[in-house]
């Protein structure tokens, strides 16, 4: 299949999925208990029937749900996802302004988890019955079982109070007056604890997956053939085995992106990280429905883009499926 045709197919599928997400999220939020007009009126300082009627009319809440949906989809096509009554801002601007810190957090956690998890799993596969491999199995079970918020609190206690070397909240220190590189270092310093908190669960998963995948590949016929031909063990292990063993890890990384995004909500709440997770938490508490819908839409969009990127990375890593229909 030509690459252009593949790209167009993926874009068409993505458009269908995004449209379905918009429709389903809108219906579910509108069917949820509670009256948005009462929440808006409560934020304004008082509730009367006249105020409620005016709010419903201004926000289109007095229309049948199918008419509300049609108007919402029409506005969404034009890039208008509504206006936040609580934050007093267009939700697109609000979400876009918070998207950068969340993407930074997720990418940092993904890189940390991939590098550390894969490295540990590959090292453990060299001696699967050894002490290090058994220790890694136990540590992976603990890391996978620990809730993200508990891990975050433990890291805060350890590295902010017992050994105070990392900050515990915020994206950067607002009291510092530094240049670009100084600000980048300050952000990286603040990023360490949130990124590791989010990454620990996936370090455990990737290490176990890398270990199992390497053991399976090392037992393959072509590996035995390469060794029988006298190929150096280093070449067999890293060039032949490792390249094929990372393919399942690439696939799982794309599938885990949605879980990383949902896990970021808790991590951002613990570390007061100014991203989409904190925005989602505040919007849910205030029933800011337009902001919630926009967050759900952008989250779905980010997951779709991540899956598309994973698909192409998989094709680059495995030449056997280039040009094939998936």
List the domain boundaries for the chain: 2-91, 92-317
Is the Cβ–Cβ distance between 281 and 224 less than 8 Å? no
Nearest to 185 by CA among 196, 194, 176, 197: 176
Average pLDDT rounded to a whole number, residues 91-103: 87
The reported pLDDT for the residue numbered 93 is 87
- How many percent of the chain have pLDDT more than 70? 90
CATH class held by domain 92-317 = mainly alpha
**Residues 250-280: pLDDT tens digits?**
777 777 777 777 778 888 888 888 888 888 8
Average pLDDT rounded to a whole number, residues 285-309: 81
**Residues 58-77: pLDDT tens digits?**
777 777 878 888 888 888 88
The reported pLDDT for the residue numbered 2 is 60
Least confident of 30-44, 218-232, 281-295: 30-44
**pLDDT tops 80 at residue 206:** yes
Which range, 35-39, 238-242, 245-249, is most confident? Answer: 245-249
Q: Give the CA-trace dihedral at 66, 72, 77, 83, to 10 degrees.
A: 180
The reported pLDDT for the residue numbered 21 is 82
CB-CB neighbours of 325 under 10 Å: 8
| pLDDT confidence tier of residue 1, bands split at 50, 70 and 90 | low
What sign does the dihedral 252-218-220-208 (CA atoms) show? Answer: negative
Please state, in angstroms and rounded to a whole number, the distance separating the CA atoms of residues 121 and 252: 15
The reported pLDDT for the residue numbered 45 is 56
3-state SS, the chain, equals CCHHHHHHHHHHHHHHHHHHHHHHHHHHHHHCCCCHHHHHHHHHCCCCHHHHHHHHHHHCCCCCHHHHHHHHHHHHHCCCCCEECCCCEEHHHHHHHHHHHHHHHHHHHHHHHHHHHHHHHHHHHCCCCCHHHHHHHHHHHHHHHCCHHHHHHHHHHHHHHHCCCCCCCCCCCCCCCCCHHHHHHHHHHHHHHHHHHHHHHHHHHHHHHHHHHHHHHHCCHHHHHHHHCCCCHHHHHHHHHHHHHHHHHHHHHHHHHHHHHHHHHHHHHHHCCCCHHHHHHHHHHHCCHHHHHHHHHHHHHHHHHHHHHHHHHHHHHCHHHCCCCC
| pLDDT confidence tier of residue 326, bands split at 50, 70 and 90 | very low
Structural tokens at position 238: 């890293």
Please state, in angstroms and rounded to a whole number, the distance separating the CA atoms of residues 131 and 110: 27
- How many percent of the chain have pLDDT more than 90? 2
Nearest to 205 by CA among 87, 122, 113, 93: 113
**Residues 141-194: pLDDT tens digits?**
787 788 888 888 888 888 888 888 888 888 888 777 777 788 889 889 889 999
Average pLDDT over all residues of the chain? 80
Residue 20 dihedral angles phi and psi, to the nearest 5°: -65, -40
Round to the nearest angstrom and report the end-to-end CA distance of the chain: 9
């Amino acid at each position: 299949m030509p690459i252009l045709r593949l790209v167009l197919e993926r874009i068409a599928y993505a458009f269908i999925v995004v449209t379905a997400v918009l429709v389903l999220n809108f219906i579910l939020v509108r069917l949820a208990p509670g009256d948005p007009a009462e929440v808006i009126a409560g934020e304004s300082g008082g509730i009367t029937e006249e105020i409620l009627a005016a709010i419903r009319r201004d926000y289109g809440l007095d229309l049948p749900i199918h008419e509300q949906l049609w108007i919402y989809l029409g506005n969404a096509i034009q890039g208008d996802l509504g206006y936040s009554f609580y934050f007093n801002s267009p939700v697109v601007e609000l979400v876009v302004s918070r998207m950068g810190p969340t993407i930074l957090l997720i990418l940092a956690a993904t890189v940390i988890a991939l590098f550390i998890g894969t490295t540990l799993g590959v090292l453990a596969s060299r001696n699967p019955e050894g002490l290090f491999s058994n220790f890694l199995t136990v540590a992976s079970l603990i890391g996978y079982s620990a809730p993200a918020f508990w891990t975050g609190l433990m890291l805060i206690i350890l590295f902010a109070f017992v050994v105070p070397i990392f900050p515990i909240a915020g994206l950067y220190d607002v009291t510092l007056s530094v240049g670009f590189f100084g600000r980048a270092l300050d952000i990286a310093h603040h990023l360490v604890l949130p990124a590791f908190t989010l990454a620990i669960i996936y370090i455990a998963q990737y290490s176990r997956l890398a270990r199992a995948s390497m053991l399976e590949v090392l037992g393959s016929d072509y590996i035995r053939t390469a060794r029988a031909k006298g190929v150096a063990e280093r070449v067999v292990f890293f060039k032949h085995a490792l390249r094929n063993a990372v393919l399942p890890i690439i696939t799982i990384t794309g599938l885990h992106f949605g879980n990383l995004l949902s896990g970021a909500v808790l991590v951002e709440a613990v570390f007061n990280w100014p991203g989409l997770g904190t925005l989602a938490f505040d919007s849910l508490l205030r029933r800011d429905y337009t902001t919630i819908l926009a967050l759900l839409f952008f989250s779905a969009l980010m997951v779709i883009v991540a899956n598309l990127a994973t698909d192409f990375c998989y094709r680059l890593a495995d030449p056997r499926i280039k040009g094939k229909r998936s």
